[in-house]
């Protein structure tokens, strides 16, 4: 019994250490906000706020091949698939410039940026709260190093109400629908970039 307790404590400490190391190399914090309520089958607009640490940047969803572009998907669980019928991601205007690390033009974000998710809800949703989850995957770089891609989950609750009025969906000027370019093989994209690992 004593030996099992020691093993359990050691495993917990290792897990906590790995989690801390993972957070140490995560340079983007994410937050999702949704309308307070919506009717079944309605279209709602989600705001995915990404805050990038100072002196770091992340890449757009449409950056040319070179760095690893950001992707934003939904949770693929059965519960998630029962809520969202389809969605479209729109990204704010990125900074486009030549990056000598990749010897190519890249599109990046710094500071706090808001991505928009136009979400079509399932028509057969029952009244009550539902959870919508998005899964961003992204690479961050500084002026001297790049971090391998990180994946996070970010969720928010939406109240399904049959009598909820339809919200007007407006995409601000300058936002573009995220349609990533075809990527090159990962090895080729990372060959010229010094990587920091966990």
**What Å distances lie between residue 131 and 14, 37, 151, CA to CA?**
31, 12, 19
Residue 180 to residue 163: CA distance in whole angstroms: 37
Residues facing residue 71 across a β-bridge: 137
pTM (predicted TM-score): 0.78
Residue 27 to residue 140: CA distance in whole angstroms: 7
pLDDT digits (tens, 9 = 90+) for 6-43: 433 343 433 333 344 446 789 999 999 998 899 999 99
**What Å distances lie between residue 137 and 29, 70, 74, 134, CA to CA?**
12, 6, 11, 10
pLDDT digits (tens, 9 = 90+) for 95-108: 999 887 788 899 99
* H helical segments located in the chain: 2-24, 78-81, 186-190
């Amino acid at each position: 019994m004593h030996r099992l307790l020691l093993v359990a404590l050691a495993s917990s400490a290792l897990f906590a250490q790995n989690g801390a190391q993972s957070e140490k190399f995560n340079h983007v914090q994410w937050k999702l906000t949704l309308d307070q309520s919506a009717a079944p089958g309605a279209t709602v607009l989600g705001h995915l706020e990404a805050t990038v640490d100072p002196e770091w940047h992340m890449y757009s969803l449409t950056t040319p091949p070179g760095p690893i572009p950001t992707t934003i998907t939904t949770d693929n669980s059965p519960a998630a698939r029962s809520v969202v019928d389809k969605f479209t991601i729109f990204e704010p205007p990125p900074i486009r410039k030549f990056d000598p690390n990749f010897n190519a033009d890249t599109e990046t974000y710094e500071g706090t940026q808001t991505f928009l998710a136009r979400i079509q809800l399932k028509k057969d949703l029952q009244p009550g709260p539902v959870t919508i989850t998005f899964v961003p995957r992204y690479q961050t770089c500084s002026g001297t190093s790049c971090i391998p891609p990180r994946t996070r989950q970010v969720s928010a609750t939406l109240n399904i109400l049959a009598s909820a009025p339809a919200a007007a969906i407006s995409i601000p000027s300058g936002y573009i629908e995220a349609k990533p370019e075809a990527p090159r093989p990962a090895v080729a994209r990372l060959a010229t970039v010094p990587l920091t690992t966990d």
